[in-house]
Amino acid sequence: NAGVTQTPKFQVLKTGQSMTLQCAQDMNHEYMSWYRQDPGMGLRLIHYSVGAGITDQGEVPNGYNVSRSTTEDFPLRLLSAAPSQTSVYFCASSSTGTSEYEQYFGPGTRLTVT
């Protein structure tokens, strides 16, 4: 099993550009989520999904879109990048039910917006 994979590992964008961060998992997990991690702020939930076709907002959803067309993939789209979106982004997945909070994290994408 590859677990949770994220691409790219690093990305530099100019203000106003758009891009998609990719996330895939091969554990057949229903629950997937996106977090951003900033110094002094900890991990903050952006969006999450409890299954294909179902998504919901987390703590900091503005400026980001998600969709979940398959169980395996959960891409995160930045619509018009801003310097405030410079961060490390982590995707995570878990089973639902009693294992729901045992989340497996990907290696992260380091994004810089200039």
Partner 1 sequence: QKEVEQDPGPLSVPEGAIVSLNCTYSNSAFQYFMWYRQYSRKGPELLMYTYSSGNKEDGRFTAQVDKSSKYISLFIRDSQPSDSATYLCAIGGNNRLAFGKGNQVVVIP
| Closest CB to partner 1 among residues 20, 38 | 38
Residue with tokens 């702020």: 41
CB of 106 to partner 1, least distance (A): 6
CB of 15 to partner 1, least distance (A): 25
Alpha carbon distance, N-terminus to C-terminus of the chain:
36
- Residues of this chain that interact with partner 1 (CB under 8 A) are 4, 31, 33, 35, 40-45, 48, 50, 56, 58, 90, 92, 100-108
Quick one: tokens of 40?
């002094």
Q: How far is CA 21 from the centre of its chain?
A: 7
